[in-house]
Amino acid sequence: MARFLIIGDCQHFVGITQNIASALQSFDNEVSVFDTIGDFCCNKSLNSSIIDTAIAYKPDIVFFIRNETIHYSTLQIIKKQCSATLAAWWLDDPLISFGKDELFVHQNNYESIRFFDYLFVFDSFHIPRLRRIGCPNVHLLPCAYNPHEYFPQEVTEEEHAYYGSDVSFIGTPYTDRGRILAQLLNYNIKLWGGKWSNPRIAEHTVKDTLITTEECRTIFFSSAINLVLPQVQSVHGYNQSLFQALGSQGFIIAPFLNDIEKYGLQKDHDIVTYETIDELKSKIDYYLTRPNERLRIARNGYTSVLRNHTYKNRAKEVCSVLGISSVQYTAN
């Protein structure tokens, strides 16, 4: 076992910090969490508190969920005074930021890289980039899901009428997503969780505020087809929506990205993929008329993610890379 201090935002990222902390604890590690509370600007007071916490806690490993909140000088001090292993799990592009202080955060991220002993990235595209700038210990650690939060559930007729549709999409607006959705508006499509500026797309929005975990489960299970459209930072890897939807036994159509083969997910067995808009439309038309095929693929996908893509799977991978012996677990 090891003593982990996890630095992460417990307000955003849909429970990632809490879930990986609980998963690491399940392997008999001692874990403490420092909540950065949504700060993205390298706040001086926050960084001082992180240093004080690390020195007092004396961790073996300081594990960061993303890193734009942490000034590179903070990492330098922790490394020197705590003699701890520093690791980070990036679920965005580790070398850029999309916030209001983008230029500063980009430079800070770049400077920070050299202080980490291990970097975990959700997208294999970033591995050679990071190695080229001097980070030898970079590992693929895909997104994951919590099977106690996302699971198949029965829905009432009223829930199915409200949450169900032929095609659904849950997510925030990005230009690339908008281009795709704009070509699917002839379908019975419902959109959730985003404020779309295009009025034609916005007409299909049922709810443009936060979608709860329970609502997501119901949407995934009630929709004939769930679209998973990766975030703008994704090149080869998928965000956590893919795993949450599969974990809810939803039928998924998603663009083909290279990392799907690394996940052990099989096309047309666990998930359906497309490479062009015409292919996407063709597959929507095909599967809308074949509910039994949809159910078969959805069940296969659920079995695959439950076996291989929970936070406990990810915690076990982290422990293996860091050389920490882990007890076997029997449940997800």
CA 256 to chain centre: 17
Place of tokens 């307000």: 11
319-324 contacts at long range (C-beta below 8 A, 24 or more positions apart): 319/2, 319/24, 319/27, 319/29, 321/118, 321/120, 321/137, 321/139, 322/2, 322/61, 322/85, 322/87, 322/118, 324/1, 324/2, 324/27, 324/29
Please determine, for residue 276, whether its predicted confidence score (pLDDT) is greater than 90: yes
In DSSP notation, 211-273 reads: PPHHHHHHHHHH-SEEE----TT-SS---HHHHHHHHTT--EEEE--GGGTTTTPPBTTTBEE
Q: Is the pLDDT of residue 261 over 70?
A: yes
pLDDT number for residue 111: 78
pLDDT at residue 182 in the model:
97
Residue 321 pLDDT greater than 90, yes or no = yes
Q: Which pLDDT value is given to residue 149? A: 96
pLDDT at 231: 83
Is the pLDDT at 151 greater than 50, yes or no?
yes
Helices (H), 14-171: 16-25, 44-57, 72-82, 102-112, 126-132, 157-163
User: What is the pLDDT at residue 330?
Assistant: 45
Q: What is the pLDDT of residue 326?
A: 60
CA distance 198 to 201: 5
The pLDDT value given to residue 99: 46
Exposure b/e, 35-45, CB count within 10 A at least 16 = b = ebeebbebbee
The Cα 167–Cα 187 span in angstroms is 7
Model confidence at 316: pLDDT above 80: yes
Share of the chain above pLDDT 70, in %: 91
Burial class (CB in 10 A: 0-12, 13-18, 19+), 195: exposed
pLDDT at 101: 42
- Which pair of structure tokens corresponds to residue 10? 């417990």
Span 129-156, average pLDDT: 93
> What confidence tier does 72 reach under pLDDT thresholds 50, 70, 90?
confident
pLDDT in tens, 282-298: 999 999 999 999 999 99
Mean pLDDT score of the chain: 90
Furthest-apart CA atoms within the chain: distance in Å: 63
All domains in the chain, ordered by first residue: 3-141 (3.40.50.11930), 157-308 (3.40.50.2000)
Q: What is the mean pLDDT of residues 147-161?
A: 96
Residues whose CB falls within 8 Å of the CB of residue 127, separated by 6 or more in sequence, listed in order: 121, 138, 139, 140
Instruction: Check residue 59 and give its pLDDT.
Output: 97
When mean pLDDT is compared across 63-67, 154-158, 211-215, 238-242, the lowest value belongs to 63-67
Q: With 60 as the cut, is the pLDDT of residue 77 above it?
A: yes
pLDDT tens string 96-130: 654 444 444 466 777 788 889 999 999 999 999 89
Quick one: which of 258, 215, 305 has its CA closest to 125? Answer: 258
Quick one: angle between helices 240-247 and 291-308, nearest 10?
A: 110
Query: Can you read off the two tokens belonging to residue 118?
Result: 């291990």
| pLDDT of the residue at 14 | 58
- Is residue 230 over pLDDT 90? no
Q: Over 90: is that where the pLDDT of 273 sits?
A: yes
What is the rounded distance in angstroms from the CA atom of residue 299 to the CA atom of residue 247? 9
Are 312 and 148 within 8 A, CB to CB?
A: no
Asked whether the beta carbons of 215 and 209 are under 8 A apart, the reply is no
Measured between alpha carbons, how far is 301 from 144 in angstroms, rounded to an integer? 14
- What integer pLDDT is reported at residue 13 of this predicted model? 58
